[in-house]
Structure 1
Amino acid sequence: MKKRTTLIVTCTTVFLAQLGMSIYLPALPDIARDLGADASRVSWGLSVYLIGMALPMLAWGSLSQRLGRKPVLLAALGLYGLGNLALPLGTSVEGFLAFRLIQGIGASGISVMARVLIRDSFSGDLLAKALPWISIAFVIALGIGQYLGSLIQAAFGWEAIFQGLGAASLIMAAAVLRARFPILTEVSSGKPAWRVYGQLLTFHAFLRPALAGGLGYGVIIAFNTAGPLILQEGFQWSAIEYGLLGWPISAAYLLGALVVNAFVLRTGQRRLMSWGIVLVLGGSAAMLAGSLTPGSIALLFWLPYCLAVFGQSLNYPISLSLANEGSPVSGAYAMALSGFLHQLLAAVIGAMASLLSSQQAWPLATLCTLLAVSAMLCVRGMPPRAT
């Protein structure tokens, strides 16, 4: 029963945190107009959000070891909810970005605690089988949230997007207050947290799968950052048309998460992860080829991206599981550090994609291809799995 409660809580909280990345994207041009700023400046909101997610992750992990899982999750949900409610009150792009940073800090704690709670309840191949449920929540937020955002914007304005998200987060905090989670009796290593994190970074069995997952995640971040400008201004899509793209993206990621959940025990984590990286690379390369085709059409840009998303949905949960398995220390540290690395990479990649102000697709496709190649090199360099 506690494991089922853990899965419900983690999936719901991850869904809310990931909505902060995608739900407002169709409204980006309207937000820029109302704030009197260029769309390229407002697009930095995703990078700032990712920076907020990355920076405090190690602190969230350490706090969860000292204070317990529930108090830390409650604090993160409260901060995230209040940040969302405050965001429409800003009247400048600087205020918008400041509140996006606060949102990201709250989402950081939510993301860490979701992974830690799953890790507390499962291990080994069962951990790899359970983690795709987080991926499913992620993709629903990524795709359906994008479409939902376009509908809310059309009906009530972009401010309602953040107000609704903030209210839902505070309601979820009230539900978490009554939930029960597994109680662990872990023996402390006696080392300060920074020493534990430093030790983890020296183990290739942890570091390489963590980096492979983060680089594949970077493909999605890059597309989310530069994609709205390319499709809405380069290909003249409307906000609703861009929102509808969330459905095939969601289907691709959902299918991959279900494949992992169904086949990881019989196929093996490493084989599925390798297949995933190959698909990420193939999809990114096809995006690049399609964008360089004379008279390129939008279909040649977004359809290969869906293939890359499917591959990343195979890669990501397994990368978390293998990184945790390769950790030489117990507790929340491995999940917190892998999350930190992923969000740090995402923030850097999002910033790079923000600089791609061109309405042409090939610069973004080139960046995605380079990220996929780097992820493949990490997988190839992983040490043999201990038996």
Structure 2
Amino acid sequence: MKNRTTLIITCTTVFLAQLGMSIYLPALPDIARDLGADASRVSWGLSVYLIGMALPMLLWGSVSQRLGRKPVLLAALGLYGLSNLALPLGTTVEAFLTLRLIQGIGASGISVMARVLIRDSFSGDLLAKALSWISIAFVIALGIGQYLGSLIQVAFGWEAIFYGLGAVSLAMAVAVSRVGFPVLTESSHGQSAWRVYGRILRYRGFLLPALAGGLGYGVIVAFNTAAPLILQESFHWSAIEYGLLGWPISAAYLFGALAVNAFVLRTGQRRLMSWGIALVLGGSATMLLGSVALSSVALLFWLPYCFAVFGQSLNYPISLSLANEGSPVAGAYAMALSGFLHQLMASAIGAMASLLLSQQAWPLAALCTLLAVAAMLCVRFMPPRVA
């Protein structure tokens, strides 16, 4: 498979998987009303989705080493598409959350295979550059998904959001089935997958950049978990107004990902990553100050977050690339493990944000600031890059 085809397939599948995170968020109050549940319970749908993404990632990676990339990607797309089609059929919040878990499991396989396919085709600074395209697909889904979901909700109802996503995902599986993937021969020297993962985790060169990427990702997850309630209840935004917020958020992440694509070969990965984490910290801290000093001004809540998103778009693809370089084992294992760590952290952070759920903005802003400080410490103590 040519590298351009790899990029098209991976970006498209990542786009679909990440839509599952954000596309339904504007409809959250309507979903809660139709299910006869409190909005705070339905808001756990994001955390459950992230748990579903995290738990099987190591399994997806090890299975792809044995069965190949294509069967695993097809299985993940099929599971993701069918769970989307089934989700509107549930009549209780328990059914909704269960299907969100299954949805996340399918998205997990899609996410792992996208990163592994990119890793199969690129290396070094070019790997960071290629992963920036994955970041672009991620943020377009994250931002446009909210707006698209709000439009579908108003025109057809929230059920149509999941029906449409399921149908497109199954169509993508049909397209992937007609593409030829290279057969790679990689070996872990007879070790079990779990021993390989344990060995990778012991290397600071892998662990610290992976943690830095996951902590920055946690800022985005925390905001997406708590912001719908804050903006629609405290600031009295409509679903359409909240959906429109996706555009500046998307623009921030898009510009950051394009900056990685344009400058990483000249500037270097570590310098760009440090700048990115500094922006995440600055944006989160400004959001905290604004939510405490001028709590009635929505602009001081969402605009600093856009700067944090820009910083994370610099940080994330580079964190994946550096973690892959710092791994002592080649193959899908490092990408699967970094993805597992990121989703596990995201699910835990999403749960924390749900527990802190409030119409006030400062608890969310304080959590984001603490996450950014931790990410900065990870970057500070990363070992020197080996040439």
Quickly name the TM-score band, shorter chain normalised. over 0.9
Contact conserved, 1:281 with 1:372, CA < 8 A, in 2? yes
2:271 is aligned with 1:271: yes
Deviations 1:84-113, CA, capped at 9 Å, x for gaps? 000000000000000000000000000000
Matched residue, 1:76:
76
Aligned mates of 1:184, 1:62 — CA distance in 2: 14
**CA positional deviation for 1:293:** 1.3
Cα 1:235–1:5, aligned 2, differ >3 Å: closer, same or farther?
same
- What is the rounded CA distance, in whole Å, between the counterparts of 2:259 and 2:90 in structure 1? 43
Q: What is the CA deviation profile of residues 116-168 of structure 1, one whole-angstrom value per residue up to 9, with x for unaligned ones?
A: 00000000111011000000000000000110000000000000000000000
Q: Structure 2 matches for 1:74-113, cutoff 5 A?
A: 74-113=74-113
Per the normalisation by structure 2, the TM-score is 0.99
Residue type of the alignment partner of 1:177: S
- Aligned partners of 2:295 and 2:361 also within 8 Å: no
Deviations 1:362-381 (A, max 9, x none): 00000000000000000001
The whole-number CA distance in structure 2 between the counterparts of 1:325 and 1:259 is 21
* CA deviation after TM superposition for structure 1 residue 2, in Å: 1.5
- Contact 1:153–1:161 at 8 Å: present in 2 too? yes
1:79–1:103 contact (8 Å) kept in structure 2: yes
Which residue of 1 is the match for residue 336 of structure 2?
336
Structure 2: runs of 5+ lacking an equivalent: none
CA separation in 2, counterparts of 1:313 and 1:117?
20
CA-to-aligned-CA distance 1:265-288 (integer Å, 9 cap, x gap): 000000000000000000000000
User: Counterpart of 1:370?
Assistant: 370
Task: Please name the residue that 2:192 is paired with.
Answer: 192
- Counterparts in 2 of 1:128 and 1:295: CA distance versus 1, 3 Å: closer
CA distance in 1, matches of 2:295, 2:194: 53
Matches within 5 A, 1:308-347: 308-347=308-347
Q: How far is 1:49 from its partner?
A: 0.2
Work out whether residues 235 and 296 of structure 2, in 8 Å CA contact, stay in contact via their aligned partners in 1. Answer: no
Q: CA deviation at 1:180?
A: 2.1
Q: Is the 8 A contact 1:120 1:182 kept in 2?
A: no
Deviation at 1:181, TM superposition (A): 2.5
- 8 Å CA contact 1:2–1:182 kept in 2: the answer is no
Q: Match for residue 14 of structure 2?
A: 14
**Letter of the aligned partner of 1:234 in structure 2?**
S
Contact 2:216 2:371 in 1 (8 A): yes
2:23 aligned partner: 23
Aligned to 1:223: 223
Structure 1 residue 357, shift from structure 2 partner? 2.2
CA contact (8 A) 1:283 1:306 kept: yes
Q: Give the distance between the partners of 2:295 and 2:334, measured in 1 at CA.
A: 47
* Inter-partner Cα distance in structure 2 for 1:53 and 1:294: 37
1:114-153 equivalences in 2 (<5 Å)? 114-153=114-153
Indicate how the Cα distance of structure 1 residues 322 and 237 shifts in structure 2: closer, same or farther if over 3 A, else same: same
**Runs (5+) with no aligned partner, structure 1:** none
Equivalent pairs counted in the alignment come to 387
Q: Following TM superposition, by how much is the alpha carbon of 1:187 offset from its aligned partner in structure 2, in angstroms?
A: 3.1
Does the 8 Å contact 1:6/1:181 carry over to 2? no
- CA distance in 2: counterparts of 1:239 and 1:170, whole angstroms: 28
Letter in 1 for 2:258: L
Residue 263 of structure 1: how far off its partner (Å): 0.3
Alignment-derived partner of residue 208 in structure 2: 208
- Look up the equivalent residue of 2:185 and give its one-letter code: T
CA deviation after TM superposition for structure 1 residue 295, in Å: 4.9
Q: What is the aligned partner in structure 2 of residue 251 from structure 1? A: 251
Q: Separation in 1 of the partners of 2:294 and 2:196?
A: 53
Corresponding letter in the other structure for 2:88: P
Report how far residue 356 of structure 1 moved: 1.6
